[in-house]
Amino acid sequence: MMLVRRFLPQDTKYDFVSKRLFAYALTCVLVVGSCVSMATKGFNFGIDFAGGILMEVKTKSGPADLALMRSTVSHLELGEVALQEFGAPDLILIRLQRQEGGEQAQQAAVVKVKAALGEGYDYRRTEFVGPKVGEELIRGGILAVVLSVLAIAVYIWFRFEWQFGIGALVATFHDVITTFGVFSLTGLEFNLTSVAALLTIVGYSINDTVVEYDRVRENLRKYKSMNTYDIINLSVNETLARTFLTGGTVFVSVLALLLFGGEVIRGFSVAMLWGVIVGTYSSIYVAMPILYHFDLRSITKGKAAAAADETGDEAS
């Protein structure tokens, strides 16, 4: 631990609050850009949301020839087709768009794929997702993200004060919207795993914010004569080493998932990498500077006066 701390900045005195206007402008650009991309480009929904056919195929001898399989299935005129490795060179996921017609049309497409590929494969599972199920999953995913953000805002409000709740809500909203923007802009497949990544990012970001807010509250009580500007800067600097340790550890872990985890969790890994970066940024440059615009000293004085009144009443 001491060796790690040696490479981290100690007793820093960076002026983070002075960069607040630039940070606000950058935040607005990221949020607006993400919204524009979502409105114009949309999302590359996976089978979970878009509906369709999913087949898990394992070759009987050696690694799969993905290019040959893709060429074979693409010539079947079944609409949009996607093939990818699923954790091993001999294990392939085949995704087909939903066919026109009912269940019989979906079954016919599966039979057609099996006939085209031939006998050299084991078909481990086949799943069908209808458009109604996809719509329900989309609504459920949106509801999960919205409720988690609101629950966190309420938690911050009760644990601290409403001023802190506003800062946390703005920072979390920024993280969620920009992560949506990454999926839209890059065309990464958006599925239920992506929703899990979003919820994880929300939790990671708010954890950083709560630690820094706790330090602000402590310093408000400790330094009675220090102004809010200096309190915020001091609090960020005091938690900076912890932020680097936490963010760096998570970043390296998720980077390993991205490099060695395979195509199946690529979307999750990319989202988490972005979430670590943007979550750390929003905690320092969005959630904290917003507190500067509120009179935090009056809150501390009000609580101190209330505590003194209660003590006086008990004594009398």
Residue 131: predicted pLDDT? 62
Give the pLDDT confidence score for residue 299 in this predicted structure. Answer: 55
The DSSP call for residue 18 is G
Predicted pLDDT at 276 = 92
Residue 311 lies in a domain: no
Q: Looking at residue 3, what is its pLDDT?
A: 42
* Per-residue pLDDT tens over the stretch 54-80: 888 888 888 888 888 888 888 888 877
Length of the chain: 316
Range of the domain at 244: 9-43+134-305
Structural domain includes residue 316: no
Cα dist from 78 to 16, 43, 82, 209, 300, whole Å = 55, 21, 11, 49, 66
Cα–Cα distance measured from residue 95 to residue 19, given in angstroms and rounded to the nearest whole number:
47
Decide: 262 and 86 in contact? Cβ < 8 Å.
yes
Contact 226, 234 (CB under 8 A): yes
What pLDDT was estimated at residue 47?
Answer: 72
Contacts of 67 (CB under 8 A, 6+ apart): none
**140 in any annotated domain:** yes
Number of domains in the chain: 2
Which of 148, 262, 241 lies closest to 200 in space, CA to CA?
148
Does residue 183 contact residue 194 with C-beta atoms inside 8 Å?
yes
Is residue 204 in a domain? yes
Q: For residues 45 and 262, give the distance between their C-alpha atoms in angstroms, rounded to a whole number.
A: 19
**259 and 272 in a common domain:** yes
Same domain, 23 and 89: no
CA distance 200 to 193: 11
Identify the DSSP state of 284.
I
pLDDT score for 278: 92
Query: 């949506």: which residue's tokens?
Result: 180
How are strands ordered across the β-sheet holding 81-85? Answer: 81-85, 91-96, 52-59, 121-129
Residue 283: both structure tokens together: 């905690």
Residue 260 and residue 123 share a domain: no
150 and 18 in one domain? yes
Domain harbouring 142, CATH code: 1.20.1640.10
Residues 178 and 211 in one domain: yes
Q: Is the same domain home to 232 and 203?
A: yes
The counts of H helices and E strands in the chain are 13, 6
Contact 98, 53 (CB under 8 A): yes
Is residue 260 in a domain? yes
Residue after which a domain boundary falls, among 68, 97, 129: 129
Residue 210 lies in a domain: yes
* Cβ 77 vs Cβ 64: under 8 Å: no
Residues 90 and 235 occupy one common structural domain: no
Last residue of a domain, one of 114, 129, 144: 129
Q: Is residue 23, in this structure, part of any structural domain at all?
A: yes
**122 & 141 share domain:** no
How confident is the model at residue 285, as a pLDDT? 92
- Classify strands 121-129 and 81-85 as parallel, antiparallel or unpaired: unpaired
* One domain for residues 93 and 65: yes
Residue 314 domain-assigned (yes or no): no
- Examine the domain organization and report whether 180 and 210 are in the same domain: yes
CA separation, residue 60 to residues 68, 92, 253, 269 (Å): 15, 12, 33, 30
What does the pLDDT read at residue 133? 63
Half-sphere exposure of 136 (CA within 13 A, CB side): 5
Residues 142 and 255 reside in one and the same domain: yes
Note whether 142 and 249 are same-domain residues: yes
Strand partners, 127: 54
Q: Give the per-residue pLDDT at 178.
A: 94
CATH number of the domain to which 59 belongs? 3.30.70.3400
- pLDDT tens digits, the chain, 316 residues: what are they? 444 455 556 677 888 889 989 999 999 999 999 999 999 988 887 777 777 888 888 888 888 888 888 888 888 888 778 787 777 788 888 888 777 777 788 888 888 888 888 888 888 888 877 666 667 777 887 888 888 878 877 887 777 777 788 888 888 889 999 999 999 998 888 888 888 888 888 888 888 888 888 898 888 888 888 888 889 999 999 888 888 888 888 899 999 988 887 666 788 899 999 999 999 999 999 989 998 887 766 655 544 444 444 444 444 4
- Per-residue confidence (pLDDT) for residue 313, from 0 to 100: 45
pTM > 0.85: no
Q: Domain boundary residue among 76, 94, 129?
A: 129
Q: Among 31, 297, 52, 65, which Cα is nearest to 172's?
A: 31
